[in-house]
Amino acid sequence: MRIRTRLLLFGIILTALPLLFALGLVVVQNTQNTATARTESMNLADADFTHLLQNVYTLATTQQELIEKNLASSLNVVEDQARKRGGLSLGEEPVNWIATNQYSNEKMAVSLPMMQVGTDWLGKINSKDLVVPVVDDVKNLVDTTCTIFQKMNDAGDMLRVATNVMNLDGERAIATYIPSVNPDGSANPVVKAVMKGETFVGRAFVVNAWYITAYKPILDAANQIIGMIYVGIPQESTVYLRKAILDLVVGKTGGVDVLDSKGTYVISKGQDGKIVMDAKDSKGTAYVQNMIEKAKTLKDGEVAEVRTTWPGEGSDPARTKIHKFTYFQKWDWIIVASTFEDEILGSVRLIEEKAKVSLIWLSGLILLSIVICVVAAFLFSSRLTLQINKIMEMFSDIGIGDFSARAEVVSQDEIGEMAETMNAMLDNTLVLMQSRDERDAIQASIMRLLNEISDLADGDLTARAEVTEEITGAIADSFNAMAIQLSEVVQGVKQSALEVGQSSQEVEQSTKDLAAYSEKQAEKIKAAIVTIKDLAAAIRNISHHAGVSAEVSNKAMISAQEGSLAVKKTNEAMSAIKENMRGTARTIKRLGESSQEIGNITQIINDIADRTSVLALNASIQAATAGDAGRGFAVVAEEIQRLAERSAGSTKQIESLVTGIQKEIVEATASMEKSIQYVVSGTELSDQAYSKLEEIEAVSNQLAANINDISSTAKKKSQDSEQIADLMEEVGVLTEQTTGATRDTVSSMEKIISTSRRLEESISTFKLGEEAAAV
């Protein structure tokens, strides 16, 4: 293989291999950085999902605790009102009902003993304009729905016999019943708990809507279950919790929805009540069923995940949607937060796109560098071997007998000087040639010399010509001296080139490592900036919702305070009514005493009338005895008799009226005493309600304080994260500037190394003494 070819191949290999290695290294680093960014982004998103769902779960738990306290207080009110009226019990007289299943609307005839409070039948009242005892009392006192149920059979089907829950027609929903078995064949949780003698508290379907409810069994004198009492609050009344959930945003287009275990939307944007149990994604996966199955196995506050696939827009690839969810068992709520994965990985995809563009540019630059190096190696090798080729052409001409041939000097280096020396030597040799034999001898000597120095022409500086007494001996000696000097020069140059190359490579490697570390640091800082910004946004979001929760809590606290104040005022008013009724009772009592005195006076008048009648009768007898002389007196006696009879009649009427008044006064007094007792009981009940409201107010105050602390801390952390994001952006700018300067240094070092390599390549063709010995 000729020198030029070897130089060309050597230059191409030395140039291409490091560049291709660098390209592979960049590809691997880009892949690793992208994978790391993707993993960190998903971990951060997973943490945000978990915190968001746990916050919603905490809000629902807090709301549930407040409602449970309210419902427990309402149950006490129902029992108290029923006890004041004599208690709930079953009478002996049967009542016929046409009972309607609240789920299937199937009707059935049933005959049950009448449910009564005290000795009064509750009736079959479905008009909202008529008053139903107990249930309407509860509505007026604590403003909750209330129902009295009667057990229909041993299975535990429960019939509504008195209620203030209205159906769709605006009438009381009596004669509807809760079956012990749900339409899907499962045991009804309300009936199941009540038939065990337990109180059920939770979410339940009431007539035609979902309520947060409490059911408690009704026991007879033998402690047998004869029915149950219900109090409840419509689920839609949790308006503040609903608004807080609907205001949550996940990613760009995602949000938070609430489903129940039947696959029905409870809280969603425009889809409340829609059944999505059979919903499937583009791959046919029934993801809602999967979520419900997994949710029922979760512990309190535990979060699970389901992924779905959806078609992209137009020619865009399919999109993956992430659904994170937790299960709030008390309300049968599956709280779902969802968004598309590409919205979470937006910054990662931007990094991937930038990496692809950078890789394309780097590949182009490497290809261009290889081409430039090939051209440079070709030109350098051509220039290096041009003078040697001229010398070889000269020796070829001399070899065929053309002693006038001379080497063209085309370079100014040592090889060019050698060509000039050889030309001068040939000129001197040609003068010395005298005869053909001499020429032949000279030619033979020259041919031997050419053979001996042919390796020198190929770059072997260890080659030496044999020094003889022939005419070419001096030339051989000159060649040997020149070879020794040239070997020393090349050895020095080669050693220097190696040292420069090694130092340059070390500097280049250090600079490349620094550049790689700087680029990696810049990418990490960019990813950190994105992460911190996302974290800041999440903290702002949490701060916002904490503020909303604080506002909700403050409103609840204010409502509790207002309710407490209203109950207190009601209590004061009832106390005033009690005192007024006691005053009225005292007045009626005095009126009774006065009517008794009137009766006594009437009795005296009646006695006087009787005596007057007797006196008139005696006067008439005396007048009759007197004859004509007593006739005038007889007329007067008759008038006195009639007056006495009229007085007696009037006295009897007065006595009758006074007796009636005294009876009514006694009844009024008894009624007033009973009313006073009711007022006293109402005052006690108001005191209990006031005590419960004070407890609710205390809980609300504590909850408001906690939420305000959370809101304040979240705002402070949001400000801190924004400051960190600003600092990281400044560090990112400085790192990019450092990376740019490092890249410039790498470029300069690559030029130095390229020059050193070309120098090494130009020298490597020369074989020196140590290399020859090694060979």
Better-scored residue on pLDDT, 68 or 1: 68
Q: Coil, strand, or helix at residue 286? A: coil
- The mean pLDDT of the chain is 75
**CB 649 within 8 Å of CB 632:** no
**Exposed / middle / buried, residue 541 (Cβ in 10 Å: 0-12, 13-18, 19+):** buried
Better-scored residue on pLDDT, 573 or 26: 26
First to last CA, the chain: 18
* Max mean pLDDT range (76-85, 622-631, 765-774): 76-85
pLDDT band at 364 (very low <50, low <70, confident <90, very high): confident
| pLDDT tens figures, 322-336 | 999 999 888 888 999
Longest CA–CA span in the chain (Å) reads 233
| pLDDT tens figures, 432-482 | 655 555 666 666 777 776 776 666 666 666 666 677 766 666 677 777 777
pTM of the model: 0.47
pLDDT band at 392 (very low <50, low <70, confident <90, very high): confident
Q: Which residues pair with 107 in a beta bridge?
A: 100
Q: Are strands 88-101 and 176-178 parallel, antiparallel or unpaired?
A: parallel
| pLDDT tops 70 at residue 589 | no
| pLDDT tens figures, 504-528 | 566 566 556 656 666 666 666 666 6
* Max mean pLDDT range (205-209, 218-222, 327-331, 701-705): 218-222
How far apart are the C-alpha atoms of 156 and 187, rounded to whole Å? 11
pLDDT band at 599 (very low <50, low <70, confident <90, very high): low
Give residues with Cβ within 8 angstroms of 553, minimum separation 6. Answer: 700, 703, 704, 707
Q: Which segment of 36-40, 140-144, 281-285, 469-473 scores lowest on mean pLDDT?
A: 469-473
| pLDDT tops 90 at residue 90 | yes
* DSSP code per residue over 84-122: HTT-EEEEEEEEEEEEEETTT--EEEEEEEEEEETTEE-
Q: What are phi and psi of 455, to 5 degrees?
A: -65, -35
**Exposed / middle / buried, residue 62 (Cβ in 10 Å: 0-12, 13-18, 19+):** buried
Number of H helices, E strands in the chain: 12, 15
**Cβ density class 254-265: b for 16+ within 10 Å, e for less:** bbbbbbbeebbb
- Mean pLDDT over residues 546-560, rounded? 65
Name residue 476's amino acid.
A
350 C-beta neighbours (distance < 10 Å), count = 13
Q: Coil, strand, or helix at residue 151? A: strand
Give residues with Cβ within 8 angstroms of 46, minimum separation 6. Answer: 324
Tokens (6 digits) for 82: 């029923």
Q: Give the pLDDT of residue 358.
A: 74
Q: Which segment of 81-90, 354-363, 390-399, 458-467 scores lowest on mean pLDDT?
A: 458-467
Q: Give the pLDDT of residue 293.
A: 92
How far apart are the C-alpha atoms of 272 and 275, rounded to whole Å? 9
Gyration radius (Cα) of the chain, Å: 57
How far apart are the C-alpha atoms of 209 and 344, rounded to whole Å? 37
DSSP 130: S
| pLDDT tops 70 at residue 296 | yes
Tokens (6 digits) for 675: 């009313």
**Of 27, 47, 732, 736, which is closest to residue 352 (Cα–Cα)?**
27
- Mean pLDDT over residues 410-430, rounded? 75
Better-scored residue on pLDDT, 419 or 110: 110
pLDDT > 70: what percent of the chain?
53
CA torsion through residues 392, 396, 401, 402, sign: negative
| pLDDT tops 90 at residue 198 | yes
Q: Give the pLDDT of residue 773.
A: 44
Q: What are phi and psi of 277, to 5 degrees?
A: -55, -35
Q: Which segment of 269-273, 411-415, 497-501 scores lowest on mean pLDDT?
A: 497-501
- Mean pLDDT over residues 259-263, rounded? 89
Q: Coil, strand, or helix at residue 767? A: strand
- Mean pLDDT over residues 758-774, rounded? 55
Name residue 349's amino acid.
R
- Mean pLDDT over residues 679-702, rounded? 67
**CB 663 within 8 Å of CB 588:** no
Q: Give the pLDDT of residue 575.
A: 67
pLDDT band at 774 (very low <50, low <70, confident <90, very high): very low
pLDDT band at 342 (very low <50, low <70, confident <90, very high): confident
